[in-house]
Amino acid sequence: MSTEQPSIVLYDIPRNVPAGQGGSGWSPNTLKSRIALNYKGIPFTTEWVEYPDIAPKFKALGLAPNPEGTPYTAPVIRYTPPGSKEGQYTMDSSAIADFLDRTFPARALYRGSPQSQRAQREFRDLIQPCAYVRFRAFVLHGVASQLHPVSEAYFRGYLVPVYGPLDQLLTPRAKYDEALAHVVEGFNSLSEFVDREEAAGNEVLYAPDEEGVRAPTYAGMVFTGVLEWLHRAGGQEAWEDIINLNGGRWAQLWKAVEPYARD
């Protein structure tokens, strides 16, 4: 039977936590797409995929592997157009964001002048070296501890040989302080980038929507996905030490975007 309305499925990785504790998802990568879908008001359902099932499932669905890095990753979305029986698959959060803006142009993720959109994409690309990789010491143990057993074993299996025991990443205290200083350095770089672009008249974290309302851009959503990763897996001390850096700029952003990150 063909569908009368478009249908979207988001493939996400679950965590094993009780309902009401921030959502079943945890990955900063899948959170980017969840936030984008919720912000644009696009109805979707979630299909949860455990870590060791990602590659065989997506390969069986006929997805082409990523040209670089890990061949199969989450998020993936399946879009079934109105009246169609066949779904179209898109893998990678950046590709998904571009697909959503092309297919559902209302509440665009990238907005403003061409220079503002250029700045938004540049900020998005800076998040990986300036925040994502710097959070690992704070979140890897928490993530592993929250996964279902089959995913936890898989997760620890490829991370422990690289990092050692995950519960010791921040001990002794000097390791915590060093990791925090590394985050502060990265956040300062991001904040300086925003300041430079805004001084040049470019909108980075927020831009007016179709109704002229100041709203977060996709760049802000991507960064919030990384912040929410810390919030869900990093522990209260790290969260309090990090979220209010740079004069509360990131706390304000997180408060604006976090509701869209919920299941």
Contact between 36 and 97 under an 8 Å Cβ cutoff? The reply is yes
Contact between 111 and 217 under an 8 Å Cβ cutoff? The reply is yes
Please state, in angstroms and as integers, the Cα–Cα distance from residue 177 to each residue in 137, 171, 257, following that order: 11, 10, 28
Q: DSSP letter at 93?
A: H
Of 191, 174, 176, 156, which is closest to residue 235 (Cα–Cα)?
Answer: 176
The neighbouring-strand residues paired with 206 are 216
Token output for 254: 């997180």
How far is it between the farthest Cα atoms of the chain? 61
pLDDT of 4 reads 59
Please state, in angstroms and as integers, the Cα–Cα distance from residue 29 to each residue in 25, 122, 161, 173, following that order: 10, 17, 23, 29
Per residue of the chain (263 residues), give pLDDT as tens.
Answer: 344 567 999 999 999 877 656 678 999 999 999 999 999 999 999 999 999 999 999 999 999 999 989 999 999 999 999 888 889 999 999 999 999 999 999 999 999 999 999 999 999 999 999 999 999 999 999 999 999 999 999 999 999 999 999 999 999 999 999 999 999 999 999 999 999 999 999 999 999 999 999 999 999 999 999 999 999 999 999 999 999 999 999 999 999 999 999 98
Q: What is the pTM of this model?
A: 0.95
pLDDT of 20 reads 58
| 7-103 CATH, one of 2.60.40.420, 3.40.1010.10, 1.20.1250.20, 3.40.30.10 | 3.40.30.10
Token output for 59: 């390969």
Query: Rounded CA gap, 246 and 220, in Å?
Result: 15
CATH 1.20.1050.10 for domain 114-261, yes or no, is yes
Q: Which residues of the chain form CATH 1.20.1050.10?
A: 114-261
Please state, in angstroms and as integers, the Cα–Cα distance from residue 24 to each residue in 29, 47, 134, 144, following that order: 14, 11, 23, 14
Query: Rounded CA gap, 78 and 19, in Å?
Result: 25
Exposed/middle/buried for 231, CB within 10 Å: 0-12, 13-18, 19+?
buried
The neighbouring-strand residues paired with 224 are none
SS3 content of the chain, % helix, strand, coil (to 5): 60, 10, 30
Q: Give CA 22 to chain center in angstroms.
A: 14
Contact between 50 and 37 under an 8 Å Cβ cutoff? The reply is no
**Which amino acid makes up residue 254?**
W
Query: Rounded CA gap, 24 and 27, in Å?
Result: 10
Q: Which residues of the chain form CATH 3.40.30.10?
A: 7-103
Quick count: other Cβ atoms within 10 Å of Cβ 97?
23
pLDDT of 85 reads 82
